[in-house]
Structure formats: C-alpha cells, structure tokens
Amino acid sequence: MRKVLLTALLLTCAGSALGAVSVQEAKKLGMTLTEIGAEKSGNADGSIPPYTGGLASFPVGFKQGSGVRPDPFADEKPLYSITAGNMDRYGDKLTEGSKALLAKYPTYRMDLYRSHRTVAYPRYLLDKTLRNAVTAVTADGGNLLRNATGGIPFPLPKDGHEAIWNHLASYRGEAYTILSMSLNIDVSGRKIATGQSEVFFDWPYSFRRNPNLEVLMKKAIYTRAPARNNGGAVIVIDALNPAEKARIVYQYIPGQRRVMAVPDIAFDLPDAAAGGATTYDDVEIFNGSLERFDFKLMGKKEMIVPYNDYRLLYLTTPDEMVLPGHLNPDVLRWELHRVWVVEATLKPGKRHIYGKRLFYLDEDSWAALASDRYDRHGKLIRTIFATMAYSYDAQAIFPDSYCNYDLITGGYNIVNMLGGGGWLRYTAPRSDKEWSPDALAGSGVR
C-alpha cells in the first residue's frame, strides 16, 4: 500500500495537475475503506454485512467454460416482501421507480433477501485504483478524465462527475463474449423479440498488460434473430473521453452486403436494440459523454436494489420472467446495499428528452444498479434496473443486463438476458484486425 501511494505521489509531483485527494486522505483506502472506496464495516443493525473480500469460492455445479454460473445463494428464502400495502415502511430505502411500480401494479412485489457483498476485483486493478486516487483529475467541467491509468479513477469522489466516471470505468473484465436475448413486452404481456445476438466485448482501458488509456470499450454485435435481421453485424468503439473523440460505429447490412460507417449514435437517440424504448445513453444505465448534464453527488444511502441476480440472469427463460407490466417477482432478487446517489440535471441550452436523472451506484463495484428518469417538466417517466451478478470465476461484475420500465405506456424491455440458452464467457482480447471494418465484412453470413 505504501509503495503504491509513494509511486502515485511521485507521479503527481512530476505532472502539472493536482491529484484528486491527498496522499494522507488516500491512506484510508485498504484500511477503513476498501481499495475502491467502499466502507469495510457493515451497517448499525447488521443488515448490511462487513466486507470480507468478496465471494471466495465457486458454488457446487459450476463448470468452468460453460458460460453459466449457478446461484451461490439458491437455497436462501426471502426475508420479507415489499408490496403496495407496506411500502411506506421502507420508503426511504426504495427508489422512486420502485415506488411507482409498486403503486401501479397490484401483482408487483419486491422480495428482499439477505445481503451478500460478493464483489472482489483483481489485485492489479486495485493497485491502479490506489494510484488513481492521487493522480486522476477531471477537466472541462468534469467532462474529461485525465491521468487515470486503468482501475477506478476516483475511489474517493468529491463530486458527481467523478462518481459517474467510476461507473463508466467499473471493471467488467478484460474481454468476454455473450449470447443473449433482448425483448420488448407490451402492456398486455406480449413478447416481441428485438434480437438474439452474440456480442464480443473488449475493455482496453482495463487491460492488465498494455492497456490502451484512450479506448474504454469495443463491442461487436452479431445478430442471429429475428430472422429478418440474421447476419447483421455492428462494431462500436468508445473512446475513454467521448467528449473529445466521438463513438465509432461500423455496420454490416446483409441485404446490401457492405459495411458502412454510421453517424455518431449517442445521447437521446432511440436505441434500436431495445426497439426504440430507451435512449442510447440508457445502455448499461448510462454510457457516453457527460457533456449534456450537470452531475451532483447527493451522498451515500442504504437502498434496496437488484443484487446477485444469478437466477434471473442465467436460469430463467423468457416465458418464466415475463408478466404483463413487469418482470416476474418470483425470479428477482433484491438486497439492501449502500449506494452513491448522483443527480444529473440537463444543462441550460442542451437537448435531451430527460430533464433529470437519478443514478444509484453500488459502493462495492461502482456499477450503476438503477436510475430514475424524469422528463423536462419533472415527471417520472421511466425507471431502469441492472440485474447485476458477480462473475466469481473472473473477478468481474456483469451489469450489462437490465430492465427498463416505461411508466407512461406500461410497456417494458429487457436487454442482454442469458436464460434459455445464453451464456457469458470470459476470453482473451481480440486482435486489432478483428475490430476493423474488413473483419466485419468478412463475418457476413448472407
């Protein structure tokens, strides 16, 4: 710990920018706080346990390489259920979106389970985070990230921009592939498949060796269903600082048998993968540039959020998870955790369909677990939850599956669900050649 902080201090003194916090303040990391800034202690009544290093063993039945992770808590029963009839008792621990769903649907409930702090990150990432604590800074009013060397940029955040940067850079592994299904569900409960896809992810910023500190993420999507879209493919490359360098998108169109560059798709453009039911910056709760919103850190709270959702993510088929208006409460797991709350308000003169957003960031991983979104008149119109599960074999989180509720239309959509034949497999990063437009053209099947 001392060696890491000394190295970071020397780097800070060698540069022109001041570190985000002092070396003295950073000494709390690894002591009373974890290396990424979470409180090691539990809460006063023990409903949030102390942090003891995350999930340390694999559950019975796990098969390495299968891409399916058994639920380590499958034998647990809910402690209690929250319904419209008793939600006032838990109101200070519920998001406004949760309250709206409980009030809107008599069949909706939230089963609360024992809390487990399962997340643990690799040692190299923790060491980089310790360095970042005294070297990483933001610029351009929080829109740009500077002097971060991989890892969580701001384990001791001082404002909302820094907290959101932590979410954007949260560790999901170096590279992985998923086979997943996305669905839209209308108000009657009818399922409309928006896509079954094999998706490749690389996270160059988080590479253990030779990280690319200018590229956050690369994604290649190969569509398998529905039949009308079979053979389509898209490559997306996100710079670490999208306010400086726009997203790169290449698309292969089967009917035309050619690859074309797609204009920048970001902010509040409707997301085609969700059938237009969400915006592009709703993907993974929030992604892309921070430039259109002001982000305010509201502090840390104990909140009931989706957590350790192995059953829903891996073991539940689309037919089992879908009910009219909402996901089946029988397959959802809710736990009490501490989260950082960030309020985003639209900047004067900027355009977006949302006037305000609230984000709830997990203290143990920095991943956004939920968000409430308001229109420009202050009305709550949508709420979104990530059904996050920790990949205990890879020391990485998977928050890329999520459910978005439209509180106006009564419809909802689920993205990147793995149940019913899907999987998540961690791999080596792909070569630069595999991320080229030529490789996309060569992948076409029709």
The model's pLDDT over 286-315, given as tens digits with 9 standing for 90+, comes to 999 999 999 999 999 999 999 999 999 999
Encode pLDDT of 340-391 as tens digits. Answer: 999 999 999 999 999 999 999 999 999 999 999 999 999 999 999 999 999 9
Quick one: average pLDDT of 225-240? 83
Q: Residue 18: what pLDDT?
A: 38
For residues 364-381, b (16+ Cβ closer than 10 Å) or e, as one string?
bbbbbbbbbbbeeeeebb
Q: 57-105 pLDDT, tens per residue?
A: 999 999 999 999 999 999 999 999 999 999 999 989 999 999 999 999 9
* pLDDT at position 144 over 50: yes
pLDDT value at 146 more than 70: yes
Confidence grade of residue 196 (pLDDT, cut at 50, 70, 90): confident
The confidence score (pLDDT) of residue 315 equals 92
What percentage of the chain exceeds 90 in pLDDT?
81
Checking if the pLDDT of 13 tops 60, the result is: no
Average pLDDT, integer, range 311-337: 95
Work out the mean pLDDT of the chain and round it to a whole number. 92
Query: pLDDT band at residue 254, thresholds of 50, 70 and 90?
Result: confident
Q: How many CB atoms lie within 10 A of CB 39?
A: 16
Q: Average pLDDT of 46-56?
A: 96
Whole-number pLDDT of residue 1: 53
Q: According to the model, what pLDDT value does residue 14 have?
A: 39
pLDDT at position 442 is 63
CB of 286 closer than 8 Å to CB of 342: no
* pLDDT of 17 over the 60 cut: no
Q: SS3 string of the chain?
A: CHHHHHHHHHHHHHCCCCCCCCHHHHCCECCCECCCCCECCCCCCCCCCCCCCCCCCCCCCCCCCCCCCCCCCCCCCCCEEECCCCHHHHHHHCCHHHHHHHHHCCCCCEEECCCCCCCCCCHHHHHHHHHHHHHCEEEHHHCEEECCCCCCCCCCCCCHHHHHHHHHCCCCCCEEEEEEEEEEECCCCCEEEEEEEEEEEECHHHCCCCCCCCEEEEEEEEEEECHHHCCCEEEEEEECCCCCCCCEEEEEECCCCEEEECCCCCCCCECHHHCCCCEHHHCCCCCCCCCCEEEEEEEEEEEEEECCCHHHHHHCCHHHHEECCEECHHHCCEEEEEEEEEEEEECCCCCCCCCEEEEEEECCCCCEEEEEEECCCCCEEEEEEECCEEECCCCEEECCCEEEEECCCCCEEEEEECCCCCEEEECCCCCHHHHCHHHHHHCCCC
Kindly indicate the confidence band of residue 19, based on its pLDDT and cuts at 50, 70 and 90. Answer: very low
Tens digit of pLDDT for each residue in 96-117?
999 999 999 999 999 999 999 9
Q: Is the pLDDT confidence value at 230 over 80?
A: no
Of the listed ranges 16-25, 131-140, 155-164, the least confidently predicted one is: 16-25
**Residue 44 reports pLDDT greater than 90:** yes
pTM as predicted: 0.93
pLDDT score, position 257: 76
In the chain, the percentage of residues whose pLDDT exceeds 70 is: 93
Fold entry, domain 2-442: outer membrane lipoprotein receptor (LolB), chain A (2.50.20)
